[in-house]
Every structure is written in structure tokens, then in C-alpha cells.
Amino acid sequence: MRGQKAYIALQAIAYIEDNLRECLELGRVADALGYSKFHLHRLFSETVGLPLHEYVRRRRLTKAAGELVYSGETVMDIALASGYGSRQAFTDAFRAMYKAAPARFREAGKFYPLQLNAFAGALGEEPVKGGFVQGDITYAAPSDAEGWMGLARLKVDGYPYFDEAEYTENLYRYMEEKRALILRDGGRVVGILGFSGTDGGCVRFSGDFRGRGSIDFLAVHPQYRALGIEELFLGKLTEEIFPGGELSVTTYRAGDRADTGCRGMYLRLGFQERELLTEYGYPTQRFVFSPGDRQEENDDA
């Protein structure tokens, strides 16, 4: 049986999905479900990992992006169906999230989602195990693919330009090469991490990987955000897989409105800002984690 928080969040999500073309202010959703605005706002944010209004905006823009690529609807019609009163307001909102005007995005013909409606299969009971340790993290196997992809869809907000077919193909390769780490709470996947060496692959010496590494994908289930799981994955990499080595990752640039907290997470973990990049046409920034830097910070403290 689902936890009460997840049950209420799923009620809200179902209502939102059925009424994406309507006005979906917090008060309307709360009234429709019979909850107070404060209660629904707090519960939805805690369970889903996003405020309700942000979830609505990202779902609408994701649907609009799909219609731009796959339908013949005019930009104005798509704007109105997405809840925007003018083409300019829609263009400004779309460009802020997708880094391209709607017409240019349609011309490129490559759809990717900001937010998928994957919560129905991913939200559930409250965490059963609270005291995870580094040893609970294991290498993922092909039998984990379904659970892994469920969490990847749930946390697509942390991965600009998510192409599910390409991602799935790469996932099996990562599993075969022992570059996919997974954390479970019973049968539930609550954390995933894919990594590489600096050359795009890894070379194993005496049971571990030497040199520098990179985090290619990291996601933690929103219902487990307060349990320090990101720190456990980082410890697994720096202590067991790349002992003493440097780690890098690319994530959102400062001020990117599409970022739901990924940049802040890496800063909190001790990563340092490096050069600005552009990947798949998307503006990003590289971050670097050095165990030496973390040790100096600890010594100073």
C-alpha cells in the first residue's frame, strides 16, 4: 500500500494531467482534492521534489515541446493550450527552459522532456530503510534495468537533453563494463549512478579504477532526498573506485531556470566550478571534485 503522502501527491498529479489546458493554480487543485493549500504545497514538494506550480509549468512546456516537433499545430495554438495568453509570453517561458525559441526548436526537430509523467509508477511507500551505508551500493545488473529506468524518468529534470532510447542502450553497456552503481530499498531503486574514466571508458587495476573519473548520471529518488545518498555514492567513487582520484561532472550553469537543484547539490558535495561548456547545443558547466580539496576544508574547519 502506498504511503499517505504519495497517495495525495498522486491524486494531485492525476488531476493536473487531466487538466493541463486549464488554470491550475495551487488553490484550485487543493479545492478539487479537498485539502488546504498549505498542506498540499508542503506535501507535494516533499514527495515529488518540486513545488506544484513548477511541476505544472514543466509538464506544460514538455507537452508543448512534443507538439512543436510532432504536430502541425501553430505556435500560437500551442501557446494557448499551454496556458499562455500570448505567443511572446510562451516564447519567453519556452526559451528560458529549452534554450531555443519555439520556432527554432521545431526546426531542429529533436524533442526531449523537462518533466515526464512517471510518478505513478515510482512514488510509493515511505522509505523503509533509513540508515543506508556505502556497502549497500552495488553494481547494477541487466535485471535492474526496469527499476533503473523508472528512476531515470522520474529524475529526468537533472539530465538535459534526455533521449530515452540512447540512454537505455548506453545503460546496458555501462552495466556490462561495471560502470553502473545502484542502491535499493528492498525491491525499490532509490539511487543510481553511471560513471566513466576520463577517456570515456575505464581501465581496471587490482580491483579498482585508477586516475580521474566522471559522473555521467546521478539520481536519487525524491522521497529519499534527506538520507545523504548522494554522499554515499560520492564516497563509493572516491574511496573504492577512483581512490584519491579527481572526479568531474557537467551540470547546469548558474541561473538556468531548468535547474531544479542539481547545481546546488554538487556544490554542497564539495565540487568546484570550472569552465563553461556546450553539450548537445545546451549550455552547461563542468565541476570538479578533488579529495585533496575536501581534506583541506576539513583541516581548516
Section 274-284 average pLDDT: 92
Intervals of CATH 1.10.10.60 along the chain: 4-108
Tell me if 114 sits within 8 A of 58, measured CB to CB: yes
- Dump pLDDT digits (tens) for 138-168: 999 999 999 999 999 888 886 778 888 999 9
Cell numbers placing 32: 478539487
**Model confidence pLDDT, tens digit, residues 67-108:** 999 999 999 999 999 999 899 999 999 999 999 999 999 999
pTM confidence score:
0.88
pLDDT tier at 1, thresholds 50, 70, 90: very low
Amino acid sitting at position 173: R
Q: Which residues belong to CATH 3.40.630.30 in the chain? A: 127-300
Q: Cα–Cα distance between 19 and 260 in angstroms, integer?
A: 23
| Residues 6+ positions from 86 with CB-CB distance below 8 Å | 79
- Predicted pLDDT at 209: 47
Per CATH, the number for 4-108 is 1.10.10.60
Q: Are 69 and 122 in contact (CB under 8 A)?
A: no
Query: Are the beta carbons of 128 and 186 closer than 8 angstroms?
Result: yes
The CATH class that applies to domain 127-300 reads: alpha beta
Distance CA 209, CA 114 (A): 33
153: DSSP letter = H
Mean pLDDT of the 14-21 span: 91
* Contact indicator for 100, 75 with CB cutoff of 8 Å: no
